[in-house]
Structure formats: structure tokens, C-alpha cells
Structure 1
Amino acid sequence: MKKILMTIAVAILIISGISNPAAEAKTKTKTMHVSATAYNEMGRTATGYNYKKHPNAKSIAVDPRYIPLGSKVKIPGYGTAIARDTGGAIKGKIIDVHFKSRHQALKWGRKHLKIKVYRN
């Protein structure tokens, strides 16, 4: 009985077209070289996210033509952040990394990095 149930379960999975998660991850991920600056803001972002309520949130400002808002982005030396904001000076392959304090933002400075973008 167990063999029959197992065979049916496998057949259902094959028929339903379950895709390979590793292949999906490859198609939804891209790397790019960017210029990364830092900022310290405690208001609301372009997507409405409130930094006053979440001061330690890992977030970045992006040009949505290059990195879609809401995307997860892995940034060396910072961690994984969410693209939640835009800015007047953020054009092209530039990101602005959010920090809780002005001191942290100044310490980050400007860096040229290779980042990994996980698309929605």
C-alpha cells in the first residue's frame, strides 16, 4: 500500500511540473557593479516605509530602472537589504545604503562594490 501511495505521489509531482528551485534562483538573481554611498534618514521612504518605527532596518535607495523597488540585495560589508527608497541623485548603477546614524553613514563613505540582486 505504501509503494502505491508513493508511486502516485511521485506521478503527481512529475505531472504538475514542479520546477528545479536551483534553476529558478539562477534566473532571478543578477550581479552588478555599483557605486555605493551612504545616507542617514529617519523619515519615510518612497515606498512608505517608516524609518522612525524601524531605525535598524537594512534598506537601500536605488534607481528603479536598474533595481526594482522591493528587491532583496546582498551588499558586501552591509548584509542583505531591501530596495525601499529612491533619490534625486540616485541615477543608474548607484545605490545609497541606509544607516541609523550620521556617524555610521560617514564611516561607510563611498565604495565600488559587486552586489547581488534577487528579483521579486
Structure 2
Amino acid sequence: MKKIILLLAVITVLFSGLPENSATAKSKYKNITVSATSYCELGRTATGFDYRTNPKAKAIAVDPRVIPLGSKVYVPGYGTAIARDVGGRIKGKIIDVHFKTRKQAITWGRKKIKIKVYSY
């Protein structure tokens, strides 16, 4: 009986020092309220990403002073996207959400939403 208790104590000590797994670890993110517009483009982004070879990719254009390029961003109503582009009119807390078709972009319109920018 003493051996079992000692074994359980050793196992507890060993596992208490391990880092949390991804299922229980808290993600680090920052909430930002932005004005979200939309666009439809089939060329290359500022980071060199090609929409023609990746037509299903979810991407947004950002002001890199607010959201770093390459950041993973959750956009309500759109999903998780990567900040891959910049735009001449994207200044401050404005994002431009990429859609495959002009119809989808027009349907999105302009919205004020709260996004989550995950640290990377």
C-alpha cells in the first residue's frame, strides 16, 4: 500500500511540472474593434501570396502598424484569416476582408465588428 501511495506521489510531482497541452492552454489574443470592408482580388498580395493558386484562402488586408502582417485573425461572420495584404485606404483600425467573388464582397458591405488578433 505504501508503494502505491509513493508511486502516485512521484507521478503527481512529475506531471505537475509539464506544460499545459493545447486543449487547455489559453490562447493569447487581443480584441480590436474595427471597421471591416471587403474586396475581391485575384492577384498577388503585398506579402506575395497568390490568390489564383489559393482561391479558397481566407485573407485580410490590414494596416501593419495596427495588425502585423502574418497575424492570424478571427473575423466574426468570416472565420479565421491571415493578415496578408495592405491597402492604400487601410489606415488605422480598418480591415479589408477578401472574397472570391464581387457579389460576396458587396454582400459583406461595411461593418463595425470586434476581431481577435492572435499573437504569433
* Normalised TM-score (structure 1): 0.81
Tell me by how many angstroms 1:23 deviates. Answer: 6.4
Deviation, structure 1 residue 4: 9.4
Distance change (3 Å), C-alpha of 1:112 and 1:15? closer
Q: Pick closer, same or farther for the CA change 1:68–1:13 going to 2, 3 Å.
A: farther
Give the AA of the match of 1:61.
A
Q: Which runs of 5+ in 2 are unaligned?
A: none
1:13, CA displacement in angstroms?
A: 6.8
What percent identity do the matched residue pairs reach? 60
**SS of residue matched to 1:104:** helix
Q: Work out which of the two has the higher radius of gyration on C-alpha atoms and give 1 or 2.
A: 2
The equivalent residue for 1:94 is: 94
Alignment of 1:1-120 (within 5 A): 18=19, 25=27, 28-120=28-120
For residues 52 and 24 of structure 1, the distance between their equivalents in structure 2, rounded to whole angstroms, comes to 35
Q: Please, what TM-score do these two structures have when normalized by structure 2?
A: 0.81
CA pair 43-9 structure 1, distance change in 2 beyond 3 A = farther
Is residue 33–residue 113 contact of structure 1 (8 Å, CA) maintained in 2?
Answer: yes
Relative to structure 1, the CA distance from residue 5 to residue 70 in structure 2 (aligned partners, 3 Å threshold; closer, same or farther) is farther
